[in-house]
Amino acid sequence: MTVWVVVSILALILSPLAWLVPSRRTNGRMALRMEARRMGLNMRLVQQDWPHWLPEPPPHRCAEYHRARRQGRRDHWSYWQATPGVWLNQWREPCADARLLEQFARMPESVYKVEAGPQMIALYWGEKGEASVLQDIAQLLRTLA
């Protein structure tokens, strides 16, 4: 009986430590982020307000992978992936730029949005998939920067 009391007390003391151990999903995301850092990609977590017309709203906090653009670039655009392979702008018009579509075709369905401004190009990703997806993301950011 005394043994069971001691075991119960130890279990109560050690159980909060189990909450500190990261889950498999968290470990996978941390590994992807470390690999992205090794590749020279810049990443931050940002809050986004997504368009109401997306079939499945992405999470409010999302990973943004970004890169500075070359000087002289003045174009500004944003495209959301409504369904896999279908990229729409803010007015729900499909992307007509062949150069962009060629790059977007390599993106997985967990990429929610790609946008470019005069200073930066950014890609919003759900961080699902293998590390090989990072190669495609890095290629897109390099090509369109």
Q: What pLDDT, in 10s, does the model give residues 13-24?
A: 877 777 777 788
Residues 54-66 pLDDT 10s:
888 888 888 999 9
DSSP track, 21-90: SPPHHHHHHHHHHHHHHHHT-EEEEEE----TT-SSPPPSEEEEEEEEPPTT----EEEEEEETTEEE-T
Angle of CA points 46, 121, 42, to nearest 5°: 60
- pLDDT of the residue at 21: 78
Instruction: Provide the whole-model pTM.
Output: 0.81
Average pLDDT along the chain? 87
Per-residue pLDDT 10s for the chain (145 aa) are 788 888 888 777 877 777 777 788 888 888 888 888 888 888 999 998 888 888 888 888 889 999 988 887 788 999 999 889 899 998 999 999 899 999 999 998 889 999 999 999 999 998 887 778 888 899 989 888 8
